[in-house]
Amino acid sequence: MAIQVKNCMEDFVTDLLQQVIKSYPNICTCDQCLSDIAAWALNHLPARYVGTDIGDAYTRLDIYKQEHYAHIIKIIAQAIEVVSQNPHHTIKK
Ligand SMILES: [Zn+2]
């Protein structure tokens, strides 16, 4: 028996982060900062686990994503502001 689950919120966040970040042209977008932003957002959003072998999982997730879209965007925007003000590396000037 193999248990196969994944947290679909990770997909939502990495996906939507690409869009939201375009509104912040002045922040650092190195791999470390992007990972920190995604991690901060995921820590402030509910996990959304699905079994990966469930056929209609993606349909149900689409509905979930639409219903929570505004909230996820808001959390990502907060994550960008928190991380860009406190990057985990020295700011190059
Ligand atoms: Zn950076």
Q: What is the pLDDT of residue 54?
A: 62
Residue 51's CB is within 10 A of a number of other CB atoms, namely 10
Q: What is the pLDDT of residue 37?
A: 98
Instruction: Say how many Å lie between the CA of residue 20 and the centre of ligand 1.
Output: 16
Across-strand partners of 51? Answer: 5
**Contacts (Cβ under 8 Å, ≥6 apart) of 4:** 51, 52, 53
Structure tokens that stand for 5 in this block = 């689950």
Instruction: Say how many Å lie between the CA of residue 18 and the centre of ligand 1.
Output: 15
pLDDT tens-digit readout, 50-64: 887 766 767 777 888
First-last CA distance in the chain? 54
Report every protein residue that has its C-beta within 5 angstroms of ion ligand 1. Answer: 28, 30, 33
pLDDT tens-digit readout, 7-49: 989 999 999 999 999 999 999 999 999 999 999 999 999 998 8
- φ/ψ of 50, rounded to 5, equals -135, 155
Q: CA-to-CA distance for 1 and 62, rounded, in angstroms?
A: 28
Q: pLDDT band at 81, cuts 50/70/90?
A: very high
